[in-house]
Amino acid sequence: MLFNSTIFLFGFLPITVLLFFVLGRHSVRAARLWLAAASLFFYAWWNPPYLILLAISIVFNYGAGYLLQFRTRIPFSLPPPRLILIAGLAFNLFLLGYFKYSAFFVENLNAAVGTDFVIRRVALPLAISFFTFQKIAYLVDSYLGKVKEESFLNYVLFAAFFPQLIAGPIVHYSEIFPQFKKVETYRFHWANFTDGLTLFLLGLAKKVVLADEFARYSDVVFNGAQAGSTISLVPAWIGAISYTLQLYFDFSGYSDMAIGLARIFNIELPLNFWSPYKSSSIIEFWRRWHMTLSRFLRDYVYIPLGGNRHGEPKRYRNLFLTMLVGGIWHGAGWTYVLWGALHGVALAVNHLWDGLTGKGLSRLRLVGGHVLTMAIVICGWVIFRSTSLAAAGQVFKGMLNRNGAYLPEQLLELAPALRHVFAGLGQVPYLGDSTVMGSFEVFAMLTLGSAIVFLYPNLYQMKRRTRLFLVAISFAFSMQKVIFAASISPFLYFQF
Amino acid sequence: MRYFLSLLAACGVSVLIYLLLFGALVSRPLVVDQASSLMDKKLAYADSTPHPKLFIVAGSNARFSHSCAVLEAALHRPCVNMGIAADVALDWTFDLLRSRLAPGDLVYMPIEYDLYSRTRVRMMTGMDAAYRFRHDKRSLLSRGAEGMTRAAFMFSLPTLVQSGGEMALAAVGIERRFNLDTMDPQGDEIGHDGASAAAYRDMIARAPEVLPDTKDILANPDGAQQTIADFLEWSRAHHVTAIGGLPTIFDDRPVPAATIAALKGFYARHGAAFLVLANRSQYPRADFYDTGYHLRQSTQRRHSALLAKALAGLLPGPLSPTR
């Protein structure tokens, strides 16, 4: 069930909220039970058999966590906690590895050593990357003594809480469940309800009004590149920038919706985005983009690898490896590996540069840093979006003006000065439906999208009044997409 | 509670602004409104000529690939090319046509392959719906409450962006490359050949094949097909001869016989004939202008001459002078 579907908006959500607070007036436990059941139903809606997988994962991790937290209560002897932790991590990584990486691994093994192993491709269970990381964090926190949870129901609710189940934010038990333990959480609060609904509506607008439109512009370019077509200068840049905007509006929109939904239930989820495209360095970018993933990678990969505790060279190695893990986490493909490696190198170079030059904040440095950061980020997204390295190469060739620079002939008739740079074509392939007005639309929408991400504060910096103003200008467009559009599109991060 | 009521008010205001914006304030003069201007010119010609007449009905395939001027001269009866764009819903065209048809008239319909499977909802949200919601809301009443609502909520943010751009361009006198001046009195597109076609040569060479998929061509029977079927039945009841035909496409591969049989069967079920030219209306890519459905003018005329010969034997009633 997608957050932007009518069944969710007008069926699942109102019923779940209403019953949660009605039950909560009488029994906290009943409300928790209802919310957990509703969350599992929400997950099962896509593909009921995968509910079994989620259930197995929940039961196993609850059990492993219990053994780590309450080993003194167990009447028989247990292996050392470290072994239990390793077994727990291995189980989670096996599930993720089997469903997400086995086919990729076998294909590459066959290609590398000439074997012909055959592996049946299995559909990737929804949200497996997210819930696996969340459960790994739970086990590690249990091992470190940061978590104490006896109740299975509480654990199920933490693991399956539907606002954050599918694509995060990736939360720690210790930041969510104490909230569920407060009685006030089960009392309806108009302010939280309205704040949550406002955030949800604005996140919905980011997704359906902005991201889905940018998807139209980028998909045509990247699909063309995948088909082996030549992509010229302007469509290549438009494809790259459109995807940059699409991914931000899509994923940050999803996160806003998740945070808003949780707030309706009086639960505060951590922020996931903080105007990432305003960053003036790649270090800053990763503090602002998918912040809960960055936090996970820092706490459960980078620091265990040694972090910055063993000198600069090892620090750079650890940064690189951490980002490589981050890349591979996103998907089983060489494009994700390369994307992670690019960011790993960029982060290492950024730290090295800061070490050599100090962290000055001159205007030139901020502007130059911002331009360079965006260049790396956009190039990274080209790799990330492409379905193969060859397709990414096609787009890069276009961006580097190796495939010619064209604009619609009619546009050049209006602005002849552009002929110094561009040649005219009746219709430029992969550019705005290949029409002049389509091209105008693309340029105008990219300008609007860029203005929003570069110039305006994010939703969490705005006052309530400003948010209401944004609802007033976006709500009808959102409803137009949700109710009247021919189809709705899933969130990009659902595929991970 | 007050805050919540403010949020509800913001949502309400949003819908009001939206309806006011697209229903009364902004428009798309170059693309959407132009459809109406083109239609007005075609209808003016239809109204000024005597019966029996010939009408060509399809999307832009009619306008670019068929020449009523040629057909008129060959068949000695007025011919009106009703084609504008595939995005103009056929029911609008048929509604405008019905009051202008008389017994003995002939309607030839080389409808684009993909139009047959167009859904009912898609039919309600074509270019004509955008125009009618902005300028002629009363005419939408024929589509009922659903048609009105769908027309009212068919506008997205890019529509608003395009409206701003088109209104600005129109204000400084810039027109689309196709406009009233590139259309002859009969409603045919003209001048789409020679130098202007050269700009599209590479694109046409690379354009994907426009070959219909037999199994999908008659999908969604409650959409455009129902509209066409209703019109065929109406024509038969009013002694108007309606004839189906094939749209012009590349000759990369012949149109499958099964597709033709399916279309013939559809027209036959509703009492209409279906005309198939020897070349199945297929031409080399070099004969096309800017898409797989648009012939260059020289081939448009050649195709129309071929069509005139085939239609001559199907014309009902005695021939009459043009004017």
Q: Chain A contact for B164, CB < 8 A?
A: yes
> What's B231's domain CATH number?
3.40.50.1110
Mean of per-residue pLDDT scores for chain A = 91
> If 0-12 CB within 10 Å is exposed, 13-18 middle and 19+ buried, where does residue A133 land?
buried
Looking at chain A, the whole-number percentage of residues with pLDDT higher than 90 is: 66
H/E stretch holding A423? strand A423-425
| pLDDT band per the 50, 70, 90 thresholds, residue B1 | confident
Residue A178 to chain B, least CA–CA distance (Å) = 27
Averaged over A51-78, what is the pLDDT? 88
Does pLDDT of A435 surpass 90?
no
Instruction: Give me the residues of B, 260-319, that contact A with CB < 8 A.
Output: 290
Q: How far is Cα A142 from Cα A130, in angstroms, rounded to an integer?
A: 18
pLDDT per position as a tens digit, A294-344: 999 999 999 999 988 888 889 999 999 999 999 999 988 899 999 999 999
**In chain B, which residues have their Cβ closer than 8 Å to the Cβ of A437?**
30-31, 162, 165-166
Chain B CA closest to residue A209:
B157
Task: Quickly tell me which residue has 């750079």 as its tokens.
Answer: A316
Residue B206 φ/ψ, nearest 5 degrees: -95, -10
Helix, coil or strand: residue A229: coil
Residue B270 forms part of a structural domain: yes
Averaged over A410-439, what is the pLDDT? 84
pLDDT per position as a tens digit, A192-201: 999 999 999 9
| Contacts for A449 with CB less than 8 Å, ≥ 6 apart | A210, A214, A245, A249
pTM, two decimals, is 0.89
Q: How far is Cα A310 from Cα A313, in angstroms, rounded to an integer?
A: 8
Q: How many residues in chain B?
A: 323
Looking at chain A, the whole-number percentage of residues with pLDDT higher than 70 is: 99
Q: Is A330 a known active-site residue?
A: yes
Residue type present at position A115: T
Residue B17 forms part of a structural domain: no
DSSP letters spanning A54-100:
HHHHHHHHHHHHHHHH-GGG-SS----HHHHHHHHHHHHHHHHIIII
Host domain of residue B103: 52-120+177-312
H/E stretch holding B54? strand B54-56
Helix, coil or strand: residue B219: coil
User: Which residue in the list A189, A290, A310, A330 is annotated as catalytic?
Assistant: A330
Q: Residues of A62-88 as b/e, b for ≥16 C-beta within 10 angstroms?
A: bebbbbbbeeeeeeeeeeebeebbeeb
H/E stretch holding B205? helix B201-206
Contact B162 A441 (CB under 8 A): yes
Residue B76 forms part of a structural domain: yes
| pLDDT band per the 50, 70, 90 thresholds, residue B321 | very low
Contact B7 A198 (CB under 8 A): yes
Instruction: Let me know: does A293 contact A382? Beta carbons within 8 Å.
Output: no
ipTM of the complex: 0.87
**In chain B, which residues have their Cβ closer than 8 Å to the Cβ of A201?**
11
Instruction: Let me know: does B302 contact B288? Beta carbons within 8 Å.
Output: no
Domain assignments of chain A as residue spans, ordered by start: 6-194, 195-482
Residue B247 forms part of a structural domain: yes
Q: Chain A contact for B145, CB < 8 A?
A: no
Domain total of chain B: 1
| pLDDT band per the 50, 70, 90 thresholds, residue B319 | very low
In SS3 terms, A267-321 reads as CCCCCCCCCHHHCCCHHHHHHHCCHHHHHHHHHHHHHHHCCCCCCHHHHHHHHHH
